[in-house]
Amino acid sequence: MLKSDTWRVKAEGDFLYLTIPAFEQTGLVRHCFTTKLGGASPEPYGMNLSITGKDAPENVLENYERVAYAIGSFPGNLTVSAQVHGTRILRVGVLDRGKGVILPREMEGIDGLVTNRSQVGLVTIHADCVPLFFLDPVRKAIGLAHAGWRGTVGKIGAKMLQRMQEDFGSDPADLLTAIGPSIGPCCFEVGQDVAEAFSEAFPVYREKLIRPAEEKDKFYVDLWEANRLQMIEGGVLPEHITVTDVCTACHSDVFHSYRKTKSPGRMAAILELV
């Protein structure tokens, strides 16, 4: 059984997923981060929530139905965009419900979603990249972002904070945030070019974020800490940030990991105001 000291591991039948204790305690949201276990799709897809691969659409829809049932939502509430490892953020509402699940996706080139409407489920798709969750319990607003290394360097986390301030009047000090299961500093090995990109984006923290790997001109980068630091610099209180301790590459038996296994399946981060 998968274990975590920061996230809560749950099961609905064979479907295994994780939730954020601090978010659950508010009673304001339905949410989860999925694993590859308990899906309707054949191997190697399993619990696959991407519509862009070779998995049969009816399998993907069944997977969304299982996930939605587990968290008390409906597939028709969920909203999925086409991600491009960028930093564009879109505000969505009731007219966007079902897009990318039971309706055409429409939303292209978007890696962050925000809303203050209930029963509008935000969804981002992952296979090692970092899911970032944002909840404003005061203004009743949420945000969800897909932060690969490019999105992290582009500081999509900081841009999400700014967008929630602009759209909903959110005070970062009120926000609860979370950094979800993804490739950890133990496994995210990069070349000189990516290491330099992080060094330029985070000059004050380069020694904290980057360490040499065993192979020459290779480095390990800490995506979790890079995103946590963005949140703190943006005004989120450190005690309001839940940081994962689960590496998707280390646990490729539980998660789809593109880096570790080239898995064609994808997990989903889901966040919805009740």
The pLDDT of residue 53 = 85
Mean pLDDT of 91-97: 97
Distance CA 87, CA 222 (A): 19
The pLDDT of residue 102 = 95
Looking at the chain, the whole-number percentage of residues with pLDDT higher than 70 is 100
DSSP state of 238: G
The pLDDT of residue 192 = 97
**Which residues on neighbouring strands pair with residue 31, listed in sequence order?**
271
In contact, 158 and 234? CB cutoff 8 Å: yes
For the chain, which domains are there? 8-184+241-273 (3.60.140.10)
Q: At what angle do helices 223-233 and 156-168 cross, to 10 degrees?
A: 30
- Answer whether residue 24 shows pLDDT above 90: yes
DSSP state of 42: P
- How does residue 1 score in pLDDT terms, banded at 50, 70 and 90? confident
Distance CA 2, CA 43 (A): 20
Q: pLDDT tens digits, residue range 185-224?
A: 999 999 999 999 999 999 999 999 999 999 999 999 999 9
Q: For residue 7, what are its two tokens? A: 């996230």
- Answer whether residue 240 shows pLDDT above 90: yes
* Three-class DSSP category at 165: helix
In contact, 60 and 48? CB cutoff 8 Å: yes
- Answer whether residue 230 shows pLDDT above 90: yes
Strand 121-126 to strand 78-80: parallel, antiparallel, or no bridges (unpaired)? Answer: parallel
Distance CA 132, CA 151 (A): 11
Mean pLDDT of 13-31: 98
User: 254-259 long-range CB contacts below 8 Å, 24 or more apart?
Assistant: 254/2, 254/16, 254/35, 254/36, 254/37, 255/35, 255/36, 255/127, 255/181, 256/36, 256/46, 256/48, 256/126, 256/127, 257/127, 257/128, 257/183, 258/127, 258/128, 259/128, 259/183, 259/187, 259/188
Mean pLDDT of 113-136: 98
The pLDDT of residue 170 = 98
Chain mean pLDDT for the chain: 97
The pLDDT of residue 106 = 87
pTM: 0.97
Burial zone of 192 (CB within 10 Å; 0-12 exposed, 13-18 middle, 19+ buried): exposed
Distance CA 144, CA 89 (A): 9
- Answer whether residue 157 shows pLDDT above 90: yes
